[in-house]
Every structure is written in structure tokens, then in C-alpha cells.
Amino acid sequence: MDEFQIENVLKDFYENEHFFSQEDFLYFAETDEDEIILNNTFCNDSRFILISDEYLIKKYFISTKTLFKWFCRLSLKLAKSKTFRLSQKQLYISFSFLCKNERFNYLPSNLVSFGKHYGFIDEDPYNNEQYIFPIVYILLFMNGTKPNRVINRIIEKTSSSKTIKNIKFEYLCEIFFEEGLLNLRDRESYIIKSREGLLTGNKLTLNEIGIIKNITRERVRQIEKRAWKKLTHNSLSDIFAAALICKIISKQGSLIYSKNSYEALLISFLAKCSKVPILNCQHINKLILGDHLKNYCNFEASFQITKYVNSQSFFEQLNSDKSICLIKKDLQNLSIAISEYCKTKLTKEQKVYLVLKEIGKPAHFSRIAEVYNSLFPHNPSIERNIHSVLSREKNGVVWIGIRGTYALKEWGYEHPSDTLFETVKEIVQNKYKEINKPVPFNVIVAEISKYRRIINKNSLVIASHCNSYLERIGRDSFIPKESKEKAEITDGEEEEKFADKLDRILKEIEE
């Protein structure tokens, strides 16, 4: 076969609705063409994807057009089932129906990569064995048969292309957008574009448009209302919904957009026409398609600020919420944006609390100041100021009885009710009553853990040896000072009695 004949056969197989093998191609083409040449022909043709694995008997190919249509139809099925998640097993079983003679018992990675490239699918960051479908999530907001009409419109527009990879979905979105606006009168189109900021990037007021068009503000409002009635009607709404889906495809499934941009204005308009909710997060300057994050964008309260300021923990929190359908890239960007915003709203007490959370264990104020300045480089503070904040013991921060050392109550620490000197005195008194002999220092060390979770040994040495309530006996043992005084008093009384007795005996002898 010459190149022209091979190309004609390739065109036929580009329309094939299933996986096919090299043997299928040879049989259909009625040629004994060298297998290596054919393999290179398919592998180098961007219209086809090769599926090759040790578990498969043959090498299989599928056209990108067929695979794109398959993802579109799968999205419709999932939308009808009202779910935007599939397990790994469910997905590879679905893929298997594209193959006539063989069933997959694994998930071909290049097919998943194709779906990710066009925004149909992404791995669930929280569960490696599940996949999410962002486009399905958006289709769920569309009523009745609207998802079918929207997806079929996209399939129809893409079918005429020689290859899916040549289609610019950003451009296709603009085509649908302009097609929808053609159904409006010129003045209606101008007013809608002006009001939505789609002409200059700035939204104009009714009064500003009235001055430009030389009509009253009320007349502008009436024309705008009439135009929106047309735009949200099914026939036009379908076109704008198709534009919205194309936009999501062009962004590889992203549902988050920077607010101050033409792109955000266009998305906002298309979502309004399609009746898809959109969340305006002013604090972080983002627009988010859907309503899955409405409970996460109210982070003004202080208890929420400290919860959201750690981007990694917030990322994990979002991941674990099964009502959220965001690709991993969106989740990461959103977590960082919210974290950075929350950091600007923290009080110094909250910042110190977060620093201790970051350190993860009791720390001296000098160490806390060091970590503080690394976490908040735009608002540094000196050690003395950090110590002052710590000493207020707010937000669960407590002094743990060691000079300059602080921890968190949630770790089980409490502010000591007694000084270390008083605690050591109590230990010695109790032990002295129990054993009735001097208390060694190592016993004090062993007993102190019942009173305090953490202690500096040098501080304990000082609290023992320089304690005015204790008397040191020998090198390293102690007794309560009051016990020694009692002992001295007792010894004196005995001596006095003995002296009296001795005097009496001597007097008797003299007599």
C-alpha cells in the first residue's frame, strides 16, 4: 500500500468506535505490510493512542475522537446517575466496553492522561483508588435533558475536526459565546456586554450606559431585563452552557479563576446564563464554579482563621470532604490562597499559638521567636516582644514552670499552681514522713514527674539546694527544716532533764 491508501484506511479507523489491533488494520486493508512500519505509522499519528501492556495479548489502538466522545458520554451517564466519582475498578470496567474482544483488568494510564488533559477526570487526592469528574459536577446543576443537549452540541462541533488535538477549546468557547449573542438585538447585546464587563473589562452602571446610548437609566434596566429573559431560555442557555463546558475543558478541568480578569467575567456570565451557581470569594480574589465551597469561604471568625492558616492541613480537610469536586491543582492553589489571606488577619497571640503548633513541643521563647520570624517574615518581632505575648497565656498557651518555656494546653500542660521550690518542699515533706529519714536527691527527681510533665534538672538542683524550707543532710539528701528544729528542741529537753536528775542525785549524796 502506498501512503495515500494507508491514509484513507487511517481515516476510516479514526471513525472506529472501539479499540482495534494491528491485525484488524491488516485484515481491513487486505495488506501484508510490514508490522513495524504499521506500528510506527500509528504511534506517530496524533489521532491515535496506543494501549500496550504485558497483560494484554495484543497491542491496541483507539482514535482520540472516539475517546473524546466516550468521555463525553460517560460524563452524561454519571450526571444522570447524579454522581461525580468513580472507583478505579468501575473506570477500567467502563473502558473495557470499548474493546470488542478483550476486557481490561487494569486501568491504562495513557487513557486517564487523555481524560485529564481535557478536564474530564482527575485522581481523587484523598483516595488514590477513586477519580473525580469536574465536568460532571457542573452538568449536575443543569436540569432535565439539558446536559444531553449541551454535550451533543460539543460533540457535533468537534466531529468535523481532523483531530481532537487540533481543536482549541478556548476558541470554541468564544464561538459558542458569539453564537449565543447573535440572538440578541445589537442594543441588547451591547448593554449585556457592558453590564457584565465583557467590552472593556469594567462593568458599567445603568446610568453610564444610559449616557452613552442617550437613553434613561430605567430604559437601560428594561432592555437588560428583556435580554436576560432571552439568555436564560433553554435554546440560548444550551449554547452558553456548551461554551462554559468548553472553557472548563480548555482549563483542564479547573473550576477556580482569578477574579480580576476577562476570563472571570466571561465565566461569571456563562454560569449565569447556564444557571450554574458561582461562588465569589472576595477575600482571596477568586471565582469558584459550583457551590461546594460555600461553607469554606467564611473564615473571618478567629476560631476559623487558626484552622485555615495551615495550607497543608486545610488541603487535607478539603480532600476529605466528599461533596467537593476540585482537581488537585485547584485544591492546592485554593489552600495556599486561603492560608495566605488568613495569615494577614491573625493577632499576635494567634500567630504565637500557630508557631507552637508548628514546633510541636514545649519551647523556649527565643526558639519561638526564631520560628515566628520564619513563618511571618513580613511582620517580624524581637524576642522580648514574643516573650511578652507568651506571658499573657492566651489562646491555650501556658508557661510550664521552666524559665522562659511555653507549651499548649491541648498537649496536656497546665500552668503550675505552686513554685518549683514549694513543690520540692512538698515532695521532701511527704517522703520524710513516709521513710522517716533524709530524702535523697534522686528520689526528688523521680517524684517531680507526678507534679510536672517537664522539668529542667538544673532548676531542680537549685530548688533543692537553695530551698529555705529544706535542710541538706550530707552531700545530696534533704529533710524539712522544721523537722531538724523539732529534733534540736527534743534533744535540749532531754539534756535538761538529765541535768536536773544529776543535780538531785548529787544533792542526796551530799546530805
Is the pLDDT at 490 greater than 80? The verdict is no
pLDDT category of residue 34 using cuts at 50, 70 and 90:
low
Angle at 438 (CA atoms; ends 433, 442), nearest 5 degrees = 105
Higher pLDDT, 189 or 2: 189
405-408: strand order across its sheet? 363-364, 405-408, 397-399
Residue-wise pLDDT for 389-430, tens only, equals 999 888 889 888 778 888 888 887 777 766 777 888 888 888
Least confident of 183-197, 213-227, 313-327, 367-381: 313-327
**Helix/strand/coil for 63:** strand
48-51: strand order across its sheet? 20-21, 60-63, 48-51
For 131, 226, 255, 447, 490, the CA distances from 434, given in Å and listed in that order, are 67, 94, 72, 13, 21
For 74, 133, 143, 198, 437, the CA distances from 80, given in Å and listed in that order, are 10, 13, 10, 33, 84
Query: In this predicted structure, what is the pLDDT of residue 331?
Result: 87
Query: For domain 348-411, is the CATH number 3.40.1000?
Result: no
pLDDT category of residue 103 using cuts at 50, 70 and 90:
low
Least confident of 205-209, 223-227, 304-308: 304-308
Least confident of 19-28, 291-300, 335-344: 291-300
Type of residue found at 72: C
Long-range contacts from 123-131, C-beta under 8 angstroms, 24+ separation: 123/328, 124/85, 124/319, 125/315, 125/319, 125/328, 125/331, 126/316, 126/319, 126/320, 129/87, 129/88, 129/89, 130/85, 130/86, 130/87, 130/88, 131/85, 131/86, 131/87, 131/88, 131/91
One DSSP character per residue, 112-149 reads: HHHHHHTTS-EE-TT-TTEEE-HHHHHHTTS-TTHHHH
Which CATH number does 417-511 carry? 1.10.10.10
Domain map (residue ranges) of the chain: 3-139, 295-344, 348-411, 417-511
Long-range contacts from 408-412, C-beta under 8 angstroms, 24+ separation: 408/353, 408/356, 408/357, 411/361, 411/362, 412/453
* Grid cell 435554546 in the structure block, residue: 235
Higher pLDDT, 245 or 477: 245
CA separation for the pair 233, 244 (Å, rounded): 16
Q: What is the mean pLDDT of residues 48-73?
A: 81
Non-local (6+) Cβ contacts of 145 within 8 A are: none
Q: Tally Cβ neighbours within 10 Å of residue 337.
A: 18
Least confident of 36-40, 181-185, 418-422: 36-40
CA separation for the pair 312, 317 (Å, rounded): 9
Type of residue found at 226: R
Query: In this predicted structure, what is the pLDDT of residue 292?
Result: 78
Q: What is the pTM of this model?
A: 0.73
Type of residue found at 229: K
